Structure 1
Amino acid sequence: MELGRSRIPESELNLYYTLFSGQCFGWDEGEGGFSGFFRWDGATRHARLRREGDLVLYETDAPPDWFSRYFNLRININEVYESFPDDPMLKEAVKRFRGMRVLGQDPWEALVSFTVSQNNNIKRIRLIIRRMVEAFGRFPEPEDLTNESLLLRLGLGYRARYLVGIAEKTLSGEFDPARPQEISGLLCLPGVGKKVAQCTLLYGYGVNHAFPVDRWIKRLVGSCPDYGPYAGWAQLYLYMLAREGGIAPPEAKAIYFGNKGGLR
């Protein structure tokens, strides 16, 4: 495990909000920091993180540039905020979750994770992914996902056949997750609809304008809002705001929530 450090204030990287915002599922919070697993450069890697003031200290078996790439540090988060439209709900979300970043994850991990996420909650997604990691000794690779009966025993339900179909297309060479993808290519995969495809583009391929729409977002802003070049980042902030109970100023509640102040 290699040791590293990065000087970045919490206002530009909030580890808790970033790691527990529903965009990744392999991290845990413990005494003094965070530990987790993730797929990186074709292998399952591990890391431990903790913050000391403006320093983030980390220990990992991933390559040296992992930290900056995984947390998308090449992107100036203040420029992201400046690109957002003048929207009261979004302003409140940024105020509440400042420093939350969209991660730069491995495309295969994002595709598998968000296929598992269909009609699921975060607690159960985390549980299922951990069961697969325990069963295979690593984050599941395509060759691990060919046995539907085993996946059913791990709790995948109807999603098992989707993962088997995706794995078969990957092993045959028909689909290559390492190559940049368009949404049309992802939608051709078994069980992959618009939400899973947009999540995979945003979190796995770095398509920052990709805008996943789930029930939280649809209730808030509909299906086709224009949030600019970092629309996917805006979506993550709005999603967290909705998930955490619709914290919003009165003028935003009137627009998005109606008179009762709750999600409609």
Structure 2
Amino acid sequence: MALATVRFDAGQPVDLEDSLLGGQAHRWKRASHPELVEGEWYSGVLRGVLVLIRQHGQAIEFLSSSSDPQAMIPRIRDHLRLDDDLKAIQAEIAGDPNVAAQVERYPGLRVLRQDPWECLIAYICSANSNIETIHRNMERLSDEFGEPLTLPNPQGEGTGTITRNAFPKPVDLAEAGEAELRRLKLGFRAPYVHQAAIAVAERRLDLAHLVAAPYQEAKAELMALKGIGDKIADCIALMSLEKMEAFPIDVWVRRALADWYFPGQKTPTNRILLEWAQRYFGRYAGYANQYLFHGRRLRDRKPAQPESG
């Protein structure tokens, strides 16, 4: 019997290409199973469930490895932050002409709501790296330590399956040890990943608490871990801890700020830029950040250049 797809109405502007593949999350990719699945799909793993997803306008269609596909609708809506009134947010931040230009180009770009544990490790892996390498590191960790997930071929039984692994649990990476993480090519990031995994496994770092904590408190707790500075802490805070005022400054955002807001002068330090941006853009500074990041990276990116440092 063929596996049926599930559809629901997003009820909000959304562009899966820009949102899922734009460098926020690091396990989404275009589905590479043309002999099994027709059409344009994106493959990802949401909290232990393998998902293939695509859109038709504002209609979202998906397949999943869940035994209760309907239960995946709120999970997908949550990941895409469809509870955010995107048009109202855009109206609030698009008083700035530079952000307005990017909103016009990418009207369906949304900040994702990611799993805090997975997001923590992804952005520790982002130090002095680029998006493609972060993707590879996250996939290696999942392949080595994660639980296998299987999606039966939607064309019917007996014609193949689609398989990926869930992201490993904190205890799995804690028990793996630094040497094993280095073997997986994490390099200097290996001890930071290992120490973060131990902190979460032992509940010394309570990520659920940080979701409810004030921004500065959450950021300070993250930065108490080795390997996490301002930029990485702000990425985690924005993309998984509900801190919409967070404003990560990587190379692309710094270039956007330097060229569009401080032209012809010495660019301020990242700390000064962060304070300025949060005052200037206000409570949705994180959304403004993503439009600037996405627009500038796609304008003049160079594949071999670090993108997240």
TM range, normalised to the smaller chain?
Answer: 0.7 to 0.9
TM norm structure 2? 0.73
Match of 1:179 in 2: 209
Distance 1:164 1:59 in 2: 33
Show structure 1 runs of 5+ residues with no match.
248-264
In structure 2, the partner of 1:228 is 282
Q: 1:38 to 1:190 in 2, by over 3 A?
A: farther
The one of 84, 88, 99 equivalent to 2:97 is 88
Find the residue that maps to 1:179 and give its secondary structure.
helix
Q: Output one character per residue of 1:79-101: Cα deviation in whole Å (capped at 9) or x when no partner.
A: 01111152221111111111010
Backbone CA RMSD of aligned residues:
2.0
Residue 260 of structure 1 is matched in structure 2 by none
Q: Which has more radius of gyration?
A: 2
Match of 1:210? 246
* Equivalent residue, structure 2, for 1:159: 189
Which of structure 1's runs of 4+ aligned residues deviate more than 4 A? Answer: none
* Cα distance, 1:168 vs structure 2: 1.7
Provide the rounded CA distance (Å) in 1 between the counterparts of 2:255 and 2:221. 28
Secondary structure, aligned partner of 2:228? coil
Residue 59 of structure 1 is aligned with which of 60, 63, 82? 63
Distance 1:5 1:71, change over 3 A: same
Cα deviation, residue 47, structure 1: 0.7
Q: Contact 1:27 / 1:34 at 8 angstroms: preserved in 2?
A: no
Aligned to 2:41: 34
Matched ranges for 1:253-264 at <5 A:
none
Q: Give distance in 1, aligned partners of 2:203 and 2:136.
A: 30
Find the counterpart in structure 1 of residue 124 from structure 2. Answer: 115
Change (3 A) 1:78 1:92: same
Contact 2:93–2:284 (Cα < 8 Å) also in 1? yes
**3-state SS in 2 of match to 1:210:** coil
Aligned AA for 1:155?
A: K
Distance (whole Å) between structure 2 residues aligned to residue 49 and residue 132 of structure 1: 23
The Cα shift of 1:34 comes to 2.7
Residue of structure 2 in register with 1:124 after alignment: 133
After TM superposition, give the deviation of residue 32 of structure 1 in Å. 2.0
In structure 2, what is the equivalent of residue 25 of structure 1?
26
Normalising to structure 1: TM-score of the pair?
Answer: 0.85
Residue matched to 1:139: 167
Shift, 1:185, TM fit: 0.9
Task: Give yes or no for contact 1:109–1:204 (8 Å, CA) kept in 2.
Answer: no
By how many angstroms is 1:105 displaced?
Answer: 0.9
Sequence identity percentage = 30
How far apart are residue 6 of structure 1 and its match? 2.1
Residue 49 of structure 1, aligned match among 53, 58, 64: 53
Give the conservation status (yes or no) of the 8 Å contact 1:38–1:109: no
